[in-house]
Amino acid sequence: MSLSGTRIEVMRYVGETIDASIDQFLKPIENYWQPADLLPDTTKESFLDEVKLLRESCRELSYDYIAVLVGDTITEEALPTYESWLMDMEGIDQGNPNSSWTRWIRSWTAEENRHGDLLNKFLYLSGRVNMHAMEVSTQYLISDGFDIGTSRDPYRNFVYTSFQELATNISHRRTATLAKQAGCNQLSKICGVIASDEMRHHKAYKEFVNKIFEVDPSEMMLALEDMMRKKIVMPAHFLRETGVKLGETFAHFSDAAQRLGVYTTMDYIEIAESLLLDWKIESIGDLNDKAQRARDYLMALPARLRRVADRTKIPALEYPFSWIAA
């Protein structure tokens, strides 16, 4: 089947087909975790002792590790930017609260909202973070917004979210492993449960793109090509601190993540590769000439990125983040 109409028609059609399957990508609120389940209980007599243990368990976490965890937390805390962005996509009618798309965006936001909440509370208790400096960065980031190159196009946005959800799954998984190695099991569990949410979200967005490929393959291919040509920027790419230029703190955060191996250039390439594979880009039919050329570009992209990646150097110097407690 093919739909030759506008994005809005395609979104209406795909919205109807995903209605039944949205729930498989979400967890029931009542039975799933909340941040409080993974943190010391303030109503308990043992609260202060548990906090003491938590602080001790954080002592061995490295400088770069804390910096990366703060950057991850701020990225999660900028959720208002992401929700308002998605709600504004072409084909989304926020005035219709029962449509599958608005239901998905609200439920996704509700799940995501726990990530920043949980990480923020943990960092607050850890004693390793200058919370005021971190909160300044969070307020700046939400205030600065982002520029992810998708405009209001749902096709480009779903490429972006498919990519990003996998990127966050990888980075939270790695911070979980590193926390365990440093003897911080509670933090490891926290990062692990967040990572598993990100994987479900990744699968959902990937499925939305699959459905669009079924009905509008050429336009979907061109949208994917456009996003990959521009490169997928991180949602916190405008990250800054007091007295630091827009985006400059992000570069240092990204260097720290590379040094730690939490999120690297190779991960970027592997995510791109896995998306091409999962969306079966090589064998998608019914493409117009332009979309066929876009496919050729995409299929050759991972090898090209690998050649460039070999030449990229990661700065060895630690940068003095204002976020880290002295």
Q: Which residues in the 67-86 window bind Fe ion by CB under 5 A?
A: 76
Q: Which stretch binds Fe ion (CB under 5 A): 119-127, 158-166, 229-237, 250-258?
A: 158-166
Residue 117 touching Fe ion (CB under 5 A): no
Residue 115 touching Fe ion (CB under 5 A): yes
User: What letter would DSSP give residue 318?
Assistant: P
Residues 135, 141: Cα–Cα separation, whole Å: 10
Q: Which stretch binds Fe ion (CB under 5 A): 54-62, 64-72, 163-171, 255-263?
A: 163-171
Length of the chain (residues): 326
Q: Which stretch binds Fe ion (CB under 5 A): 30-38, 104-112, 218-226, 241-249?
A: 104-112
User: Closest separation between CB of residue 262 and Fe ion, Å?
Assistant: 15
Q: Nearer Cβ to Fe ion, position 192 or 302?
A: 192
Helix (H, G, I), strand (E, B) or coil at 324: strand
Binding-site size for Fe ion (CB under 5 A) equals 7
User: Closest separation between CB of residue 165 and Fe ion, Å?
Assistant: 5
DSSP-assigned beta bridge partners for residue 129: 324
Q: Which stretch binds Fe ion (CB under 5 A): 63-71, 137-145, 198-206, 233-241?
A: 198-206
User: Closest separation between CB of residue 41 and Fe ion, Å?
Assistant: 24
Residue 112 touching Fe ion (CB under 5 A): yes
Residues 235, 254: Cα–Cα separation, whole Å: 12
User: Closest separation between CB of residue 201 and Fe ion, Å?
Assistant: 5
Residue 156 touching Fe ion (CB under 5 A): no
Tell me which residue has its CB nearest to Fe ion: 115
User: Closest separation between CB of residue 310 and Fe ion, Å?
Assistant: 30
Residue 198 touching Fe ion (CB under 5 A): yes
Is the dihedral angle over the CA atoms 191, 235, 66, 305 positive or is it negative? positive
Q: Nearer Cβ to Fe ion, position 165 or 267?
A: 165
Q: Nearer Cβ to Fe ion, position 13 or 82?
A: 82
Residue 202 touching Fe ion (CB under 5 A): no
Q: Is 145 exposed, middle or buried (0-12, 13-18, 19+ CB in 10 A)?
A: middle
Q: Which residue has the tokens 């196009």?
A: 153
Q: Which of 43, 32, 120 is nearest to 79 (CA)?
A: 120
Catalytic residues: 33, 76, 112, 115, 165, 168, 197-198, 201
Helical H runs in the chain? 7-18, 47-57, 63-77, 79-87, 100-126, 131-144, 154-181, 185-215, 217-230, 248-260, 265-278, 289-309
Distances (CA, A) of 181 to 125, 188, 308: 20, 9, 32
User: Closest separation between CB of residue 168 and Fe ion, Å?
Assistant: 5
DSSP string for 124-166: HHHS-B-HHHHHHHHHHHHHH----S-TT-HHHHHHHHHHHHH
Q: Which stretch binds Fe ion (CB under 5 A): 166-174, 249-257, 279-287, 309-317?
A: 166-174
The binding site for Fe ion (CB under 5 A) comprises 76, 112, 115, 165, 168, 198, 201
